[in-house]
């Protein structure tokens, strides 16, 4: 499963010349299920708040189980359309987990090889899932987190440019654009334009930025709030402590009004509350986003706070 050199890899197949046009029509049943997720009111969690509603996008209901399906598919579709993916080229990227899974599902579905640089802290269960989907994994220093994984992906892409399609989710404009074109409009419609605060965890920053940009264009008074861990070494997979991490270029700090910090313990506790009080088995980053959103909601006299349940509670 572990790859040290691309010569060891074989692509799972090649996309036909008709693939980009065919897939962009939404005919393929798998990609057609990406997006359009339910909008859930978290009434019990917000039960003690007067005149404030707390809602969440159920992104764990995307095909691979996370919000990352949206950006992964947008970047893959762009690569196919430009002829950079398919015909034996391997998709290469760095990830903390969810984007890796999304890529692996798409690679297996559409017939291209996938190689992923991930920190060694990724769970054995997730590694097994990637293996069963046919993806190759390059383990990186866990102390360097996703920054180290990105450094290794950068190196490989430079050294073997003829082998790889490197979408680079931390810099690719299709990451936030996917949310600008889909997540933002969905939230605006599902909230009936009543959303007053958009709160989301900061990983690549694509979900927060792309969705926030669309909502701000619809209503300039909407507040955009990022959620990040309270310290560099934390247990909230998928989120970055921006003061000590490489800030992704897709993240727009000018757009973000403020940042709320959440401890790992708060994220875990909220993950458990979501299961027991709302019947939602979600991941730790979802717990962090909801914990941050509840902090925002608790400071308001009124409003509609929207956040994201980014992934399932899979290992």
Q: Which CATH class is domain 35-67+176-309?
A: alpha beta
In CATH, the architecture of 68-165 is 3-Layer(aba) Sandwich (3.40)
* Strand-pair category, 90-94 with 113-119: parallel
* Strand-pair category, 136-140 with 164-165: unpaired
Q: Does pTM top 0.85 for this prediction? A: yes
Alpha carbons within 13 A on the beta-carbon side of 59: 29
Evaluate if residue 4 carries a pLDDT over 70.
Answer: no
Q: Between 277 and 24, where is the model more confident?
A: 277
Sheet containing 39-41: give its strands across.
39-41, 52-58, 303-309, 197-201, 223-229, 258-262
Outline which parts of the chain fall under CATH 3.40.50.1100.
35-67+176-309, 68-165
pLDDT digits (tens, 9 = 90+) for 84-112: 998 899 999 999 889 999 999 999 999 99
Count other C-beta atoms under 10 Å from residue 299's C-beta.
12
Which single residue is written with the structure tokens 């691979």?
Answer: 64
Give helix 284-298 / helix 264-278 axis angle, nearest 10°.
Answer: 90
Q: 57 an active-site residue?
A: no
**Cβ neighbours of residue 110 under 8 Å, at least 6 residues apart?**
15, 19, 23, 28, 76, 80
Q: Between 124 and 2, where is the model more confident?
A: 124
* Size of the chain, expressed as the number of residues it contains: 315
Annotated catalytic residue, options 57, 68, 95, 223: 68
Of the candidates 245, 22, 286, the one whose C-alpha atom is nearest the C-alpha of residue 145 is 245
**Cβ neighbours of residue 128 under 8 Å, at least 6 residues apart?**
none
The pLDDT, as a whole number, for residue 315 is 65
Is there a contact between 125 and 201 (Cβ–Cβ < 8 Å)? no
Annotated catalytic residue, options 64, 95, 285, 289: 285
Mean pLDDT confidence for 158-181: 97
Of the candidates 238, 189, 247, 240, the one whose C-alpha atom is nearest the C-alpha of residue 214 is 189
pLDDT-above-90 percentage for the chain: 82
Q: 285 an active-site residue?
A: yes
**Chain-centre distance for alpha carbon 93:** 13
**Cβ neighbours of residue 314 under 8 Å, at least 6 residues apart?**
65, 125, 126, 129, 283
pLDDT digits (tens, 9 = 90+) for 183-233: 999 999 999 999 999 999 999 999 999 999 999 999 999 999 999 999 998
**Cβ neighbours of residue 313 under 8 Å, at least 6 residues apart?**
271, 275, 281, 282, 283
């Amino acid at each position: 499963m572990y790859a040290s050199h691309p010569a060891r890899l074989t692509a799972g197949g090649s996309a036909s010349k008709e693939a980009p046009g065919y897939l962009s029509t939404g005919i393929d049943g798998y990609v057609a299920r990406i997006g359009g997720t339910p909008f859930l009111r978290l009434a019990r969690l917000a039960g003690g708040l007067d005149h404030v509603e707390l809602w969440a996008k159920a992104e764990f209901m995307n095909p691979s189980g996370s919000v990352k399906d949206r950006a992964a598919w947008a970047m893959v579709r762009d690569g196919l359309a430009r002829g950079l993916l398919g015909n034996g080229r391997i998709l290469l990227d760095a990830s903390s987990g969810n984007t890796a899974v999304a890529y692996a599902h798409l690679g297996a579905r559409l017939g291209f090889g996938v190689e992923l640089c991930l920190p060694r802290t990724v769970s054995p269960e997730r590694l097994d899932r990637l293996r069963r989907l046919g993806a190759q994994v390059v383990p990186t220093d866990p102390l360097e987190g996703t920054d180290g994984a990105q450094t290794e992906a950068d190196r490989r892409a430079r050294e073997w440019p003829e082998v790889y399609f490197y979408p680079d989710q931390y810099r690719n404009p299709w990451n936030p654009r996917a949310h600008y074109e889909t997540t933002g409009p969905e939230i605006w419609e599902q909230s009936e334009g009543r959303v007053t605060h958009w709160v989301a965890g900061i990983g690549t920053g694509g979900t927060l930025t792309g969705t926030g940009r669309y909502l701000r264009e619809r209503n300039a008074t909407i507040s955009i709030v990022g959620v990040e861990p309270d310290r560099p070494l934390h247990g909230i997979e998928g989120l970055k402590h921006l003061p000590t991490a490489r800030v992704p270029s897709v993240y727009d700090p000018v757009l973000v009004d403020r940042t709320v910090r959440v401890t790992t313990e708060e994220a875990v506790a909220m993950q458990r509350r979501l299961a027991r009080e709302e019947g939602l088995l979600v991941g730790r980053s979802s717990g962090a986003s909801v914990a941050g959103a509840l902090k925002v909601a608790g400071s308001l006299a009124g409003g509609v706070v929207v956040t994201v349940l980014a992934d399932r509670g899979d290992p």
